[in-house]
Structure 1
Amino acid sequence: MSLLTSDFYKQLLVNSTDLLSVIDETGVYKFVGDSVISILGYTPEELVGNSAFSYLHPDDVPATMALLEQASATDKIITPPFRFLSKHDGWRWIECTITNQLHNEAIKGYITNSRDITETLEERSKKDLHQAYYKSLFEAHPDAVFSLDKQGYFKSLNRQFSLILGFPEDVLLRAHFTEFIVKNDLSLVRTMFLNATEGTAQTLEFRVTDADNIVKVIHVTLLPVYLQGSVIGVQGIGKDITETLFAEQLVKERTEQLRKILESVTEPFIALDADWRYTFVNKAYCELIGDSFDFFNGQVIWQLYPDLLHSEFYQKCQKVAETGKTEYLEEVFIINGLVTLSFSIFPFDGGIAIHFVDVTAQSALKREMEKLSLVASKTINGVVIMDPTGKIEWVNDGFTRLSGYSRNEVVGLVPSMLLQGNATDPETESYIRQKYQEQVYFNAEVLNYRKSGEPYWVNIDVTPIKGPDEKLINYIAIQTDITEKKKAEAELVKLADDLYKQNLNLQQFTYMVSHNLRAPVANALGLTRLISKIDAGSPQFNSILNKLETSVYQLDTVIKDISNILSVRDAARTLPREMVNILAIVTDVLTPFEDELTSGNCLVTLDIDRSFGMMANKAYLYSILQNLVSNAIKYRSPDRALTLDISVKKDKRGFVYTISDNGLGMDMHVVENQLFKLYKRFHPSTHGKGIGLFLVKTQVETIGGKIMVDSAVGIGTTFKLLLGAKHVQ
């Protein structure tokens, strides 16, 4: 009989807690012991002939196969735990010893001795989890956690404990707890420690000295640590309460300070608990009612003054108690006559506090002000009522019409901060501020701005309102719209300025006309007298006749120039305007000069957005640009090819035209005061009448613009045109 069939070994294999099996080199079961039935639920026949790897968890197969390969080169390998699929209980954790018997002719495989360690691992995991929780509680606890042996030496401590004392952990772990206790507290703490080692939990507050020799107060709980029924040490939890104690002391001091402050408040102040009993009354309240604090203390206010149950004051107190929100009211009472009291009722922990002020005089004044406000609301002028700090309390409809702001938008604001802007005169602003500081009546004209941003002028009369004690109560400001008046004044100033300029221009024009007319007229008169004395058939007669014709032609030219200039001046009133595309009109100006520019190798650059357009008289704009381009070509330098740059840029006021060349240029110090005057020429070698720039300036100003020039001899000339309604000052 073989060993495998003997009852002894059969019973041994069936009842063993380990599973004995044999697998070949590829992991296929050749033999499985009967204990597999109790361990994994399979019969041996179900496993024999199958690969052991087919029962392993997929995540564990690669590592287990690698171990089997290693087993071929060694006698024995113990595997790490792996998961094996049982027949009824799912995955089980198995630990296995693999013995190499490939060389044994009787076995020719690997003997595997497997053990189910699932419960062991679970217990270990639970223990690790408990350890992790304990470690986390110990290390991460916000309070100081420590343990002492029975002799009082530190065995463990967390970071917070080290932070409180300021010593590193390795120093503390060699120390006895008594080394850090303040001397006067040492006896008490020793007793506490001994009681804890005898099995009684202890709680105490005492003082310690940290590494910086600073005394701190800590609150400590000591708990006995038991092992097998005996105390083996003490564990403690401590908290630094130094700042807390300091804060409590500070609260006590502040409370006493607050009590003294409330006692000194000149207006009545009381505090009531949740049952409406007096807990505090100040001196002002006692004086008002005529009783002492002892009389009120503990009394229910509604029982002392039952008439208050029918008052609005009672209702407001109830509301504060219910909602926890502050309430305000004014109510009339009979206290040595009719008085109006203004109450502030606010909650606090355990009750409500009440502060009130006698506002009888203010209420009467307020009613008077309301009457005045009714009158003010009907006036067309702007009326503003301000508090003593200058902030708006009320405005009438006239103000809202003037400024564009609603009443709700302006209440609480300072008028100057709201209405004044960039163009407001700083001296006027300073004057207004000064008068407000002096609290005196004043009058001023100031430029304000509506909500829309539109400027408007007002004349303001500001009157301070003071009480019987000369204390400032309000300001009242009356605003009168004087925009049209200021416009008329500005127009008169501009008209006077224009008349002055026109008078100067007229003097110049008269001089130039008389000068330019005198020569051809004198020549014509002299030639006329001479021709009557010469024979008509003589050669001299024809010569005189030709000279007479030249003089008349010169006279005609001057008259045409005069007519042209006068027509430009007169057109300003009725000049038609249209939307003009700027790039298109510049192109139109350059077209007639195209051949001349090309033949002279001139370089023309344009920097103009094709979308730019402006309202202007097209003929005048064309004439202006044509004159400037013509001048650039006429006065180009003979030493280099002409470069002509024309750009148009848009700014917040309109358009800026820049026409720049590299021509002959001019000495601005010499020509600056003569540049735009009639019949002035600065390049005698070049043909011209000296009227072009005069007409350009006249036309630019006629269409509402300005012209500026910068030039240098041998460098070139740049004309800058500011066109657009906003460029007119």
Structure 2
Amino acid sequence: MEKGEIEVEMTVQQEVQVPVVGVEVLYALVDLNPEPMALTHQGGTLLSVNEALEQLLGHEKSTLLLLGLEPLSDLGEGEWRLIRQESQLQGICQRELHLRHQDGAMIPVQLLAKTVQTLEGDTLVSLHVRDQREIKALEEKLEQQQIATTESLHDMGMVLKHSADLICTFDLEGRFLRVNQACETILGYKAEELVNRHYTEFIYEDDIASTLQDTEKVKHVKTTTNFKNRYRHKNGNLVHLSWSSSRSETVGKAYCIARDITELIKVDQIQKESEERLQALLQQGSDMIGILDIQGGYLFASSNVARILGISPEDFIGRNAFEYIHPDFHEEVIACLTKVLNGEEVNTMPYQFKDGRGEWRWLESHATNCLDQPSINGIIVNTRDITDRRKAELQLEENNQRFKALFDYNPDAVYSLDTEGNYTSANSVALKFFGLSPEELQKKHLFEFASQDNLEETKRDFAKVLSGEPISSEAAMKGPNNEDLYFSFTEIPIIIHGKVVGVHGIAKDISVAKRQQLLQEATANRLNTILESIRDAFFTIDKDWRFTYINQEFDKVLGVNSKGWLGLDMREIFPVTEFEGFYQHYQQALATGEAVHFEMFSPNIKLWLDVNAYPSEEGLSIYFKEITSRKTAEAELKKLSWVASKTVNSVYITDDQSRIEWVNDGFIRVTGYTLQEMKGQRPGDLLAGPETALDEVRQIRDKLKFEEPFVQEVQNRNKNGELYWSKLDVTPIFDEQSGGKKFIVIETVITEQKKAEQERMLLTEELLRRNRHLEQFTYIVSHNLRSPVANILGLTALFNYQQDMENQKLILDRLKQTAQNLDTILRDLNDLLSMQGEVNDAREKIDLRELVEQVLQILPDTTKPRVQIELNGLEKIHSARSYVSSILSNLVSNAVKYKAPQRELQIKISAEQVEDLFCFTVEDNGLGIDLKKEQGNLFGLYKRFHFHVTGKGLGLYLVKTQAEALGGYVTVESQVGKGSSFKVYIKNLA
């Protein structure tokens, strides 16, 4: 025997053939097997384990050889003896037991023990271990999926039974196989009248050809949607249907859903592929072991092939694997074999394999190239039978196709609810209706979409379904934009083991039809209400001049009783000879097809009438109202206008909407606008000046709503842009009969009076301001001047020439200091008095940036802060330079004096325009002021708030006084320990 050849001998022991294999081959088979495997002596001694068993148990090979059979937790000495005996008697023994992992976890496995005779004469036992955890999990999952599939089929059967649409199945020749109860509602036929009959017997003749084409399309492309044709109802009427069809290759049927679109032809059909609910699970592992040569011929086959495939191992030897593999899979298997020969380990896709009974079984394999190992010199193929799993997958796929046909492809919204009313699933149509994703819809409750009008009814219907009773109803629900959508609902309970576990529903969108119905009802009611409520008299006549409608106002205006006039000729009641002018206009409207409007006096009824006549295909619609009072008023108004045109003042007349109808020459002279320019305009829109705010214009228009005259002063702007002040005397003219109202406005120019009034106001403000300063001066004289004068008098009284020189010098020093204080106070008084004059004479154009830089230059170098300047584009103003410079100097000096010792001083100087005032701000991060405590003394004369530095308390008083002298004011924001912000507002004197 050549080296590397496999020697196989069969010996007979107790009527069982035990394979004879070389020890070297056995050890190689154990090491190269991808599944856990061990080799033991017949007595139980562990001889070899492979890497897969090491990984399964979490032990290294050396540890396992020492532990022996201990990790096989269920395998005691007695059990091992039985396994050994059974394998000797039958050649193989199979047991379900548990292995113990290194961490103590118990692993369910299937143990296969096979007795092998070595060429050396030893009897060994090979232990094949198959990890059952994945199979156990798969079995449990398949069982759960089977239960879910059964429930889904039951649910879909209920949907099929109660659906408002026609749901049916056809064979591929076009004969009805099954039809739901909706066929009787839609086509008038009972289900048994359609079953086993060809659809062409019921289709409208003109649509047979297109329907046959669609059937052929279903055969080739499997699915068609939105195919429309016409069926004949049992009573002979045509019924328009929209079809969705899907063919199942597995069962050779076409599943179809037809929606009745006779009332609503166009139906949106959107199909969305849902994710496949069940996935085929691919498994690795092997039940059978074989060795192939490079051409695919069998060199070895394990003994379990007889049990699994019904073919003895001897029959495989010398045969090629492709003799058993289905021809459809040859190309794929050859590709896998090529990869193996290139050194790759390959797991094949499922393929079909013929067993001993000639039946095709599904297998999958794991192949390893061992051609370079002399003891094997072949390709080891580990193969597993997955026929049951494959059948289950195909069954799941078939169930999924049925589910798709009945649920996803339904042209109406289909949904499911739990017993609490929460959405659990919905098809794409339902998701589109509400503009939600599946995840968003599953967070919604049924009652969230119900409108307030039918919320209680929705709750009652849901309770009825939960009690086990199917319901059908119509209701409005809230759509994605909060609009009302109208649906026809069919809801059925999901009952499992006699208990309601949820609800299935189908909602058909009837919004268009419902809205049309509501619109027609509302239009009819509104039209009748309008015709009876309009203030004008209204009647209609046909082309033969017969009355077809007369409202109540007709009788009131003409003083007649029109009861019984409908159908009578209008000319019999109102003779043409007496109302010739009216009939001429009516004839014109009928002849031209265009509306006519006219005003005419009727001597017969002694009334002026305003008439509008509108022609139509039916005849004439005529509105009229009595305008006798208005005509009388217009005559009087013409007289009044003649008088007003001659007056010197500006006079104009407006309608009840404040739009000008007439102006006199005085108005043209004052405003510069002619009647043609102003007619139809509101005076406030063109004439209102900047000091006549929109609120004042609105107040004037509000006053016009009343019937009382009023007087109002306004500032106007003439056509040339010049401003002037006017006093408006407004008098309403009201016509009780017609309800019309006009206004006569007499405008008197009072510009000079307003100027004088404003000058008086300014003079009064100046006197008040000076009076406040005089009060301050009185305070200084009565308090600050008295103190140094009293000191001087007291020191003079103490002076005595007979005293020693030291005391005399001390008294003279005190007199000198007191005189200096008195001089300081007098200088302060002089500064304050200098501010009481007019500042207008001192105004000039000031460069702000230059002025700020000059103020900052006076700061000592040792205390110069970080200064930020933001003028925001305001570079020039007109004001008193000395005042503005003094204000800035005092504020900046105070910021430096009262800086916080613990941080660097920062100052920000900014400027802005606030309406008609110029504002500059000085901010610092100094000590700050307690505003709650010092608010009343903040700008007082000689008031100080910090005493650790020298000062007189005059700075803030000067700031406030100078700002007021410039027509402005000062505000302050401050926090102790954080800093202060002073805002100074002054008028720009340009």
Q: Which one of 851, 858, 862 corresponds to residue 592 of structure 1?
A: 858
CA gap 1:143/1:482 in 2 versus in 1, 3 angstroms: farther
The answer (yes or no) to whether the contact 1:705–1:723 under 8 Å persists in 2 is: yes
Percent identity at matched positions? Answer: 29
> Tell me, what secondary structure is at the counterpart of 2:967?
coil
Aligned to 1:557: 824
Aligned to 2:230: 146
Distance 2:473 2:816 in 1: 121
Q: Which one of 294, 297, 304 corresponds to residue 569 of structure 2?
A: 297
> Shift of residue 716 of structure 1?
2.6
Distance 2:940 2:920 in 1: 22
> Shift of residue 537 of structure 1?
12
Distance 2:644 2:528 in 1: 48
Distance 1:286 1:520 in 2: 101
The answer (yes or no) to whether the contact 1:166–1:212 under 8 Å persists in 2 is: no
The answer (yes or no) to whether the contact 1:642–1:663 under 8 Å persists in 2 is: yes
Aligned to 1:710: 973
> Shift of residue 509 of structure 1?
1.2
The answer (yes or no) to whether the contact 2:547–2:566 under 8 Å persists in 1 is: no
Instruction: Confirm whether residue 329 of structure 1 aligns to residue 585 of structure 2.
Output: no
Aligned to 1:576: 843
> Shift of residue 707 of structure 1?
1.2
Matches within 5 A, 1:624-635: 624-635=887-898
Q: Which one of 257, 260, 269 corresponds to residue 162 of structure 1?
A: 260
Distance 1:521 1:721 in 2: 37
Distance 2:695 2:976 in 1: 43
Normalising to structure 1: TM-score of the pair?
0.54
Aligned to 1:647: 910
Distance 1:608 1:133 in 2: 83
> Shift of residue 367 of structure 1?
1.6
Distance 1:258 1:536 in 2: 117
The answer (yes or no) to whether the contact 2:770–2:836 under 8 Å persists in 1 is: no
> Shift of residue 374 of structure 1?
3.6
The answer (yes or no) to whether the contact 2:546–2:567 under 8 Å persists in 1 is: no
Distance 1:364 1:318 in 2: 29
- Which 5+ residue runs of structure 1 have no aligned equivalent? 1-129, 172-210, 215-241
CA gap 1:669/1:272 in 2 versus in 1, 3 angstroms: closer
Matches within 5 A, 1:427-576: 433=702, 439-445=706-712, 460-467=728-735, 473-480=741-748, 492=760, 495-522=763-790, 534=801, 548-576=815-843
Aligned to 1:371: 639
> Tell me, what secondary structure is at the counterpart of 1:636?
coil
> Shift of residue 366 of structure 1?
0.7
> Shift of residue 614 of structure 1?
2.5
CA gap 1:542/1:456 in 2 versus in 1, 3 angstroms: same
> Tell me, what secondary structure is at the counterpart of 1:370?
helix
> Shift of residue 417 of structure 1?
13
Q: Deviations over 1:315-353 (max 9, x none)?
A: 75566456543232224454366x544332322226544
Distance 1:511 1:543 in 2: 31
> Shift of residue 521 of structure 1?
4.2
> Shift of residue 649 of structure 1?
3.7
CA gap 1:327/1:289 in 2 versus in 1, 3 angstroms: farther
Q: How many equivalent residue pairs?
A: 514
> Shift of residue 450 of structure 1?
6.3
CA gap 1:626/1:390 in 2 versus in 1, 3 angstroms: same
Q: Deviations over 1:10-34 (max 9, x none)?
A: xxxxxxxxxxxxxxxxxxxxxxxxx
Matches within 5 A, 1:92-103: none
Distance 2:235 2:618 in 1: 50
Compute the RMSD of aligned alpha carbons: 6.1
> Shift of residue 271 of structure 1?
3.9
CA gap 1:146/1:406 in 2 versus in 1, 3 angstroms: same
Q: Deviations over 1:93-112 (max 9, x none)?
A: xxxxxxxxxxxxxxxxxxxx
The answer (yes or no) to whether the contact 1:458–1:482 under 8 Å persists in 2 is: yes
> Shift of residue 617 of structure 1?
2.3
Matches within 5 A, 1:24-43: none
CA gap 1:351/1:588 in 2 versus in 1, 3 angstroms: same
Distance 1:251 1:660 in 2: 67
Distance 1:636 1:536 in 2: 47
Q: Which one of 661, 670, 680 corresponds to residue 394 of structure 1?
A: 661
Distance 1:151 1:503 in 2: 107
> Shift of residue 212 of structure 1?
8.1
Aligned to 1:695: 958
The answer (yes or no) to whether the contact 1:424–1:448 under 8 Å persists in 2 is: no
CA gap 1:462/1:144 in 2 versus in 1, 3 angstroms: farther
The answer (yes or no) to whether the contact 2:709–2:732 under 8 Å persists in 1 is: no
Aligned to 1:280: 547
> Tell me, what secondary structure is at the counterpart of 2:911?
strand
Distance 2:961 2:234 in 1: 112
Distance 1:426 1:256 in 2: 40
> Tell me, what secondary structure is at the counterpart of 1:589?
helix
> Tell me, what secondary structure is at the counterpart of 2:835?
helix
Distance 1:541 1:132 in 2: 137
Aligned to 2:936: 673
Aligned to 1:105: none
> Shift of residue 625 of structure 1?
0.9
The answer (yes or no) to whether the contact 2:671–2:717 under 8 Å persists in 1 is: yes
Q: Deviations over 1:395-418 (max 9, x none)?
A: 535668569898766738697999
Q: Deviations over 1:102-159 (max 9, x none)?
A: xxxxxxxxxxxxxxxxxxxxxxxxxxxx9789979xx99x998525699989999555
Distance 2:603 2:678 in 1: 39
Q: Deviations over 1:459-487 (max 9, x none)?
A: 55444434576966444454555676566
The answer (yes or no) to whether the contact 1:403–1:450 under 8 Å persists in 2 is: no
CA gap 1:630/1:390 in 2 versus in 1, 3 angstroms: same
> Shift of residue 280 of structure 1?
3.3
The answer (yes or no) to whether the contact 1:661–1:716 under 8 Å persists in 2 is: yes
The answer (yes or no) to whether the contact 1:663–1:717 under 8 Å persists in 2 is: yes
> Tell me, what secondary structure is at the counterpart of 2:877?
strand
Distance 1:670 1:246 in 2: 74
Letter paired with 1:607: E
CA gap 1:305/1:630 in 2 versus in 1, 3 angstroms: same
Matches within 5 A, 1:113-152: 145-146=229-230
> Tell me, what secondary structure is at the counterpart of 1:673?
helix
- Which 5+ residue runs of structure 2 have no aligned equivalent? 1-207, 218-223, 244-257, 270-404, 407-470, 475-512
Instruction: Confirm whether residue 609 of structure 1 aligns to residue 872 of structure 2.
Output: yes
The answer (yes or no) to whether the contact 2:241–2:261 under 8 Å persists in 1 is: no
Distance 2:235 2:901 in 1: 114
Distance 1:424 1:527 in 2: 66
Instruction: Confirm whether residue 659 of structure 1 aligns to residue 926 of structure 2.
Output: no
Distance 1:556 1:368 in 2: 82
CA gap 1:708/1:407 in 2 versus in 1, 3 angstroms: farther
Instruction: Confirm whether residue 362 of structure 1 aligns to residue 446 of structure 2.
Output: no
Structure number with higher helix proportion: 1
Distance 2:522 2:926 in 1: 87
Letter paired with 2:604: I
The answer (yes or no) to whether the contact 1:425–1:447 under 8 Å persists in 2 is: no
CA gap 1:713/1:493 in 2 versus in 1, 3 angstroms: same
Distance 1:571 1:153 in 2: 103
Letter paired with 1:373: S
Distance 1:681 1:340 in 2: 85
CA gap 1:143/1:706 in 2 versus in 1, 3 angstroms: same
> Shift of residue 561 of structure 1?
1.8
Letter paired with 1:585: L
Distance 1:426 1:286 in 2: 45
Distance 1:360 1:526 in 2: 101
Distance 2:970 2:584 in 1: 77
